[in-house]
Homo-oligomer: A and B are copies of this chain.
Amino acid sequence: MRLIVQKYGGTSVGDTERIRNVAERLIETQREGCHVVAIISAMAGVTDNLIKLAHEVSPHPTERELDILLATGEHAATALTAMAVNARGGKAISLTGAEAGILTNRTHAKARIANISPRQIHELLADDYIVIVAGFQGQSAEGETTTLGRGGSDLTAIALAGALNADACQIFTDVDGVFTCDPRVVADAKKLDEIAYDELLEMAGAGSKIMQSRAVEFAKKFGVQFEVRSSLKADTGTIAKEEATNMEDIVIRGVSIDRNQAKVTITGVRDQPGIAGRIFSAISEANIVVDMIVQNASIDGATDISFTIHEDELEQAKNLLAPVVHEIGATRLMATRGVAKLSVVGIGMRSHSGVAARLFDCLGEGAINIQLISTSEIKIAVVIDGADVERAAQLTHEEFGLATLMPAVGSMQPLG
């Protein structure tokens, strides 16, 4: 009998009507002759509300207690889903992360999975139960509830699919799959049938937040194939897998864009060990997420360092950096709002030269100025003016033939 792991995010169980729909889909999947394990997130909004309450009682909530608090969101959603299955004539039972056998280290709030002992799940499946597992959580060896970090239900699903040796792992979400570009920006963007883990990782880091990156890394490490698909339609989605040989024929899988970015440049930075550390510790202590970092070769013992952050955090970053700039004897701090990042991603880049040149030429012909460039093995990212980003995405999408290239073409549709 096939064993299918299905993961439903917070939006898919956002109200009781949607929970009833999920229950229906679980029963249908079982009726098709499958063993079914469902991973459920907290109902949309619940986790944010619990975090708000925690911060009302404490400026720095005790991590142990915060994990217990947040885990209740998934406990409630799994219990409701199990009730809904039972109410429709199915046979379901809910399990906490601990009961599902998910053992983690003791790092509260961002625990890492140490081991999975799915004995109880196997027993319940053998008794024809649909097993509903609380996502996002586990238990330390000391018996303490731990959580896996934001978006951790993806990780629960993929790790359980691996441990159960499942025949399929389906990540249900509110998009149809992974696209060559956001269809709202590029009208002829195509849904991809397949994507390599590495491509999905680069895209997840490039503004297309379909999956928790740690979950994709875990899938890659243990070779767990999974499918990203819509919880609202019956259509198949996009399968994430290790790269296949023919995948390299596709130079670029997709184009991602990140809007509302700000660019910060510090000029005249002395080229000495420890200086960059001083700059970025000041920012990371305030939990400001830095995206691209670019440093050029130094001339006369001094260099410029640029990086991008979200526009909303620019004021705070400027205030934090002003004394640092003075302290390290740099020349100036320059900040630009309203920029955007455009990334092209594809494992085919490894074997095809000239991708960067094609991208830069294409943007240049469109009179789009490139402000920063950063590359990884399978990604090229540029910072451009925010006003240009849609046109840049359309030009790039066309340049690399993403709407027509076969067998599998494209990029990711952001959730936001």
Contact = CB atoms under 8 A, between A and B. Distances in A.
A61 interface: yes
A405 interface: no
A57 interface: yes
A66 interface: yes
A353 interface: no
Interface stretch (A86-94, A210-218, A256-264, A304-312): A86-94
A23 B61 CA distance: 14
Contacts of A82: 62, 65
Nearest to A58: B87
Interface string A73-99: 101101111111011000001100000
Contacts of A164: none
Interface stretch (A27-35, A48-56, A359-367, A375-383): A48-56
Interface in A1-58: 16-17, 19-20, 23, 50, 53-54, 56-58
A72 interface: yes
Given A16-B53, A57-B23, A65 B87 contact: no
A12 B252 CA distance: 59
A221 interface: no
Interface residues of A, number: 36
B84 A58 contact: yes
A76 B62 contact: no
A60 interface: yes
Given A65-B79, A68-B79, A20 B57 contact: yes
B87 A59 contact: yes
Contacts of A75: 68-69, 71-72, 75
Query: Could you tell me the dominant secondary structure of chain A's interface residues?
Result: helix
A57 B82 CA distance: 9
A64 B86 CA distance: 11
Contacts of A58: 83-84, 86-87
Given A16-B56, A53-B16, A80-B53, A86 B65 contact: yes
Contact of A57 (B61, B65, B87, B93): B87
Contact of A84 (B57, B78, B84): B57
Q: Which of A64, A65, A84 has the most CB of B within 10 A?
A: A65
Contacts of A87: 57-61
Contacts of A62: 82-83, 86
Contacts of A72: 72-73, 75-76, 79
A390 to B, nearest CB: 41
Contacts of A19: 57
Contacts of A57: 16, 19-20, 23, 80-81, 83-84, 87
Shortest 9 CB-CB distances between A and B: which pairs? Answer: A58-B87, A16-B56, A72-B72, A69-B79, A57-B84, A65-B79, A58-B83, A68-B79, A61-B83
Given A68-B79, A69-B79, A75-B75, 7 more contacts: A17-B56, A23-B57, A57-B80, A57-B87, A65-B79, A66-B83, A68-B94
7 contacts: A54-B80, A54-B83, A58-B87, A59-B87, A65-B80, A69-B83, A72-B75
Interface of A: 16-17, 19-20, 23, 50, 53-54, 56-62, 64-66, 68-69, 71-73, 75-76, 78-84, 86-87, 93-94
